[in-house]
A and B are shown apart, each in its own frame.
Chain A
Amino acid sequence: MSDTVVLEVRHMNSFYKDPGQKRQQVLKDVSFVVHQGEILGLVGESGCGKSTLSKAILGFVKDYEGEIIHHTKNPQMVFQDPFSSLNPGKKIGWILEEPLRHNSRAGKAERRQQVENMIERVGLTRDYLERYPRELSGGQRQRVSIAISLIQGSRFIIADEPVSALDVTIQKQIMELMISLQEEMGLSYLFISHDLNVIYQMCDRVIVMKDGQIVEEGEIEEVYSHPKHPYTKQLLESSMEW
């Protein structure tokens, strides 16, 4: 792990308000960094604020205090359900080329070349470019959304439960793909999951969140073998027991 930092979050407090309701604090004094080349896991149960945090990092949360400092260009996000983010009326090739059409100076032939390279990098063949999202399985769609996140040269990916909706055999393939892409391209991930075993398999370090706060942070082996916070212990025991 290098000392170069791709993301810094400092003393982040975020708030949420439903119409007619009181303003509520979601994130409470959250601070952490993501290093270049690392896979940082973020684990917690529903309502702990992990998804709010990922949205805040990408600027989708307006009501906040604190600092979010990006040291990379164009961080991207991969979601749990890729189907909802893929345009159903367009072929995969068109979808994959779309960000380039808007943000790149590359000509048509060059864009096509980038699209073809990228689809192969995520383990699909070029003929997938001619298919529609509905013709792909869940795992294949997740490969496509990983390709979309990387096509503009982004090196920092926030992955929010990227394997949670997949069957175990497919889950493993996507995890392996993400790890090999990380190694080949030197990517950094903030990998969000509720599944402690998936986090253990994938990550170098882990942050444990509860009720909007970070309760524990450390290297993966250390946290899993010597959890310090009672909540981390409870989480690890519950998932061990079953």
Chain B
Amino acid sequence: MLEIKHLTISFYDSPVPDVVLSDFSMTMEPGEILGIVGESGSGKTMMALALMGLLKKTARIESGEILWMGKDLLRASEEELRSLRGNEISMIFQEPMTSLNPVLPVGMQVEESLKIHTDMGKEERKKKALEMMKAAELPNPGELYHKYPHQLSGGMRQRVMIASALVLNPRVMIADEPTTALDVTIQAEILKLLQKINREKKTAILFISHDLGVVRKLCDRALVMHQGVTVEQGNIESLFESPKEDYTRKLLSSIPTRETRLRRRKLHE
């Protein structure tokens, strides 16, 4: 469905161009949850932004192809890309507050893509928006429809983002650190919701995260990235049970778990 081949991206912010993604390749199958794991500066977000055609102006794609159903997005017109975003591929971010319009009721924002991409009438759009808000497990969609983003909690705002990302029933949703800014109890709810959406609507999810624990439980396959390069990829079990590369092992051994403690000292010594 989606294939990226030998993608290299550089930033031209300084006199010496900075390679942020180097010879990156991946494929994504319909309905799967693919994890992209890496620390800051690994290139994981740049890859997603390239996919959405949202790279900043100082970024240049040096080489490679992004194939959607065999069609190269890097050579697609702005119009083709616009129709693809929303209709086929949508994206949610870490901080919903920055992508939501602060002066527009959230219901209007959920139905915005319908306005742009479909010829649905007003009533029909509202009905669809309420339906999506319900699917995103927002309480009292009818009431919430008229509220503004600042009146919602972080978890509810992320649900609104998810509702608006799904309103056109895309085949892929890119989720870039969607739960990183949330409290642990809310994070668990949002992840469960993503899992449910994937199961029920068969929406494939490209899940970008620094959190290996979450990736392990949510994803079918994952790619480990480091400094713009793919270090290792594979299905979740083999990646976590028998990592081949040193960096993957280091990453895995750094996750704070409840199996071992760094603090060895006994109390009452």
Show the binding face of A for B, using Cβ within 8 Å: 1, 38-39, 45-46, 138, 167-172, 175-176, 179, 183, 194-198, 200-205, 219-220, 224, 234-235, 238-242
**Distance in Å: Cβ of B225 to nearest Cβ of chain A:** 12
Interface size on B, residues (CB 8 A): 31
Distance, CA A235 to CA B184, complexed state (A): 7
Q: Check B262–A204 contact: CB distance below 8 A.
A: no
Within 8 A of A (CB), among B184-235: 184-185, 187-188, 191, 210, 212-214, 217-218
Q: Check B187–A242 contact: CB distance below 8 A.
A: yes
Main secondary structure, interface of A, reads helix
Within 8 A of A (CB), among B212-269: 212-214, 217-218, 250-251, 253-258, 260-263, 265, 267-269
**Distance in Å: Cβ of A32 to nearest Cβ of chain B:** 16
Q: Let me know if B183 is at the binding interface, CB within 8 A.
A: yes
Pick the residue among A138, A195, A224 that contacts B256 (CB under 8 A): A195
Q: A204-B265, A241-B188 are in contact. List 4 more A-B contacts (CB 8 A).
A: A172-B253, A201-B256, A242-B188, A242-B213
Pick the residue among A138, A204, A234, A239 that contacts B263 (CB under 8 A): A204
Pick the residue among B40, B188, B191 that contacts A167 (CB under 8 A): B40
Distance, CA A242 to CA B186, complexed state (A): 11
Q: Let me know if B39 is at the binding interface, CB within 8 A.
A: yes
A residues near B212, Cβ cutoff 8 Å: 168
**Distance in Å: Cβ of A221 to nearest Cβ of chain B:** 9
Q: Check B267–A39 contact: CB distance below 8 A.
A: no
Distance, CA A219 to CA B39, complexed state (A): 32
B residues near A238, Cβ cutoff 8 Å: 184-185, 187-188
**Distance in Å: Cβ of A111 to nearest Cβ of chain B:** 33
Q: What is the number of contacts between chain A and chain B, taking CB atoms within 8 Å?
A: 89
Q: Check A201–B263 contact: CB distance below 8 A.
A: yes
Q: Check A175–B184 contact: CB distance below 8 A.
A: no
Known: A171-B256, A198-B256. A242 touches B217 (CB 8 A): yes
B residues near A203, Cβ cutoff 8 Å: 263
Q: Check A242–B191 contact: CB distance below 8 A.
A: yes
A residues near B250, Cβ cutoff 8 Å: 169
B residues near A240, Cβ cutoff 8 Å: 258
Known: A167-B210, A204-B263, A241-B188. A45 touches B183 (CB 8 A): yes
Distance, CA A197 to CA B210, complexed state (A): 15
